[in-house]
Structure 1
Amino acid sequence: MTEKQHIMIKGVKDGLLFLLDDKCEFGVLVSELKNKIEKTHQQLLSGPLIHITVKLGRRIITEEQTKLISDIIRSQGNLMIQAIESDIPAEEKNKAHAELKVMATIVRSGQVIEFDGDLLLLGDVHPGGVVRCSGDIYILGSLKGQACAGANGREDAIIVASYLKPTQLKIHEIISKPFEEWEETDGLMEYAYIQDDAMVIQKLTLLHRENRLPIMMRGV
Structure 2
Amino acid sequence: MGKVLKSGVTIKGTKDGLLFLLDDTRPFETIFQELKYKLEKSPGNLWNGPDTHVLIRIGKRQITREEESRLRKLISTHKNLIVHSIEAEGRPYLKDVNSGIQMLAGTVRSGQVLEHRGDLLLLGDVNPGGCVRATGSIFILGALRGLAHAGGEGDDQAIIAASQFRPTQLRIANVVSRPPDEWEEVDSEGMNFAYLINDQIAVDKMHQLPRFRPDLEWKDSRFKG
TM-score, normalising length from structure 2?
0.60
1:171 aligns with 172
Q: 1:30-49 CA distances to partner (integer Å, 9 max, x unpaired)? A: xx99xx95xxx6xxx569x9
Equivalent position SS for 2:132: strand
In structure 1, C-alpha distance between the alignment counterparts of 2:71 and 2:184, rounded to whole Å: 26
Map 1:94-173; keep pairs closer than 5 Å: 95-96=96-97, 98-173=99-174
Q: 1:78-125 CA distances to partner (integer Å, 9 max, x unpaired)? A: xxxxx9998977613385353422111011101111111111111110
CA contact (8 A) 1:132 1:151 kept: yes
1:68 aligns with 76
Residue type of the partner of 1:136? S
CA contact (8 A) 1:149 1:170 kept: yes
1:195 aligns with 197
- Structure 2 vs 1, CA of residues 180 and 136 (structure 1 numbering), >3 Å: closer, same or farther? same
Residue type of the partner of 2:193? Y
Equivalent position SS for 2:148: strand
- Structure 2 vs 1, CA of residues 72 and 128 (structure 1 numbering), >3 Å: closer, same or farther? same
Structure 1 stretch displaced more, 11-20 or 105-114: 11-20
Q: 1:125-156 CA distances to partner (integer Å, 9 max, x unpaired)? A: 00000111111110000000011111122111
Residue type of the partner of 2:68? I
Equivalent position SS for 1:103: strand
Residue type of the partner of 1:118? D
- Structure 2 vs 1, CA of residues 198 and 98 (structure 1 numbering), >3 Å: closer, same or farther? farther
Equivalent position SS for 1:170: strand
CA contact (8 A) 1:118 1:135 kept: yes
Q: CA RMSD in A?
A: 4.5
- The number of aligned residues is 176
- Structure 2 vs 1, CA of residues 12 and 206 (structure 1 numbering), >3 Å: closer, same or farther? same
Alignment gaps of 5+ in structure 2: 1-5, 12-21, 23-29, 47-55
Q: What is the deviation of 1:183?
A: 7.0
In structure 2, C-alpha distance between the alignment counterparts of 1:135 and 1:177, rounded to whole Å: 21
Structure 1 stretch displaced more, 180-189 or 203-212: 180-189
- Structure 2 vs 1, CA of residues 143 and 63 (structure 1 numbering), >3 Å: closer, same or farther? farther
In structure 1, C-alpha distance between the alignment counterparts of 2:10 and 2:103, rounded to whole Å: 48
Alignment gaps of 5+ in structure 1: 1-10, 22-28, 74-82
Equivalent position SS for 2:68: coil
Identity in percent = 34
Equivalent position SS for 2:208: helix
- Structure 2 vs 1, CA of residues 177 and 88 (structure 1 numbering), >3 Å: closer, same or farther? farther
In structure 1, C-alpha distance between the alignment counterparts of 2:85 and 2:140, rounded to whole Å: 33
Map 1:180-191; keep pairs closer than 5 Å: 180-182=181-183, 184-188=185-189, 189-191=191-193
- Structure 2 vs 1, CA of residues 127 and 182 (structure 1 numbering), >3 Å: closer, same or farther? closer
In structure 1, C-alpha distance between the alignment counterparts of 2:139 and 2:74, rounded to whole Å: 25
- Structure 2 vs 1, CA of residues 55 and 108 (structure 1 numbering), >3 Å: closer, same or farther? same
- Structure 2 vs 1, CA of residues 14 and 123 (structure 1 numbering), >3 Å: closer, same or farther? closer
